[in-house]
Chains A and B, each alone.
Chain A
Amino acid sequence: KAGVTQTPRYLIKTRGQQVTLSCSPISGHRSVSWYQQTPGQGLQFLFEYFSETQRNKGNFPGRFSGRQFSNSRSEMNVSTLELGDSALYLCASSWGGDSYNEQFFGPGTRLTVL
C-alpha cells in the first residue's frame, strides 16, 4: 500500500507570494492533518480535515488555509508569505474514525521564503 505523498518536496518563494501544497493520503484514509515543523518549535498543528470538513484548527493566522477533496486528497494554501513561514510542512493521514487513530506522515514539503 502506497504511503502518504506530498508535492512538491521543495519550494522556494519570495515574501508576499502565495503557495499551495498538496497531500495524497493512504488509500482508504479519510482524515488529513497538516503540521508546521520548525527547529525548536516541534510540530505545530495547523488543521485537520475529514470527509471534506475541517474538524479542528490550530492557532495560525488566516493566511493559512486548507481544503479536502472528495477523494480525500488535501491542499494547504499560504497567502502573503512571510520569512517566518519557512518550515517543513508535514501532512499526516489516518482512517479518521476517532481521534486516537495512528497518523501516518508524509515526507514533508520544505518551504523556503526569501
Chain B
Amino acid sequence: AQTVTQSQPEMSVQEAETVTLSCTYDTSESDYYLFWYKQPPSRQMILVIRQEAYKQQNATENRFSVNFQKAAKSFSLKISDSQLGDAAMYFCAYIPGTYKYIFGTGTRLKVLA
C-alpha cells in the first residue's frame, strides 16, 4: 500500500532558527511527485514546495528546501530563518500519477518568539 508517514506530530522552533520536518513514504513506483503543503490556522492549504522524483537536485523555494533521498524514500522539509508566519500544520503529500494525492497525518509547527 502507498503510505506517507510524518512521525513528528508537533515541533517547535525559535524565531530565526532552522527546523526540519520529516516525511517518509512507501511506494514501488519510480516516477512520482512529492509536495509539502502548509495549512495556517485559517485552514486554507497552500503549496510550499514540490519535488519531481526523477530529479536528483533538491528543490528550493526561498527559505524552504527539501532533502530528497529517493532510495531511502525520505522527503524532509527544512525551514531556515523561521518566522512567526511559518506557524501552521505541514502536510507531506505523495502523488503517484493516478489523480490521487496521498497525504501524511501532518506536523504542527510552533514558532516561538
Residues of A within 8 A of B (CB): 3, 31, 33, 35, 40-45, 48, 50, 55-56, 58, 88, 90, 92, 96, 98-100, 102-103, 105-108
Contact = CB atoms under 8 A, between A and B. Distances in A.
Contacts of B47: 102-103
B33 interface: yes
B50 interface: yes
19 contacts: A3-B44, A33-B100, A35-B103, A40-B105, A42-B104, A42-B106, A43-B91, A43-B103, A45-B101, A48-B99, A48-B100, A50-B99, A92-B101, A99-B97, A99-B99, A100-B52, A103-B101, A107-B43, A107-B44
Interface band, chain B: 20 to 34
Interface of B: 6, 33, 35, 37, 42-47, 50, 52, 91, 95-106
Contacts of A107: 42-44
A100 B33 contact: yes
Given A100-B33, A102-B47, A106-B44, A41 B101 contact: no
B97 A41 contact: no
Contact of B95 (A50, A88, A100, A106): A100
Contacts of A105: 37, 44-46
| Nearest 10 interchain pairs by C-beta | A105-B45, A42-B105, A43-B103, A55-B99, A99-B97, A100-B33, A56-B100, A56-B99, A48-B99, A42-B103
Given A100-B95, A107-B44, 19 more contacts: A33-B99, A33-B100, A35-B101, A42-B104, A42-B106, A43-B101, A48-B99, A48-B100, A56-B98, A90-B45, A98-B97, A99-B96, A99-B99, A99-B100, A100-B33, A100-B52, A103-B47, A107-B43, A108-B43
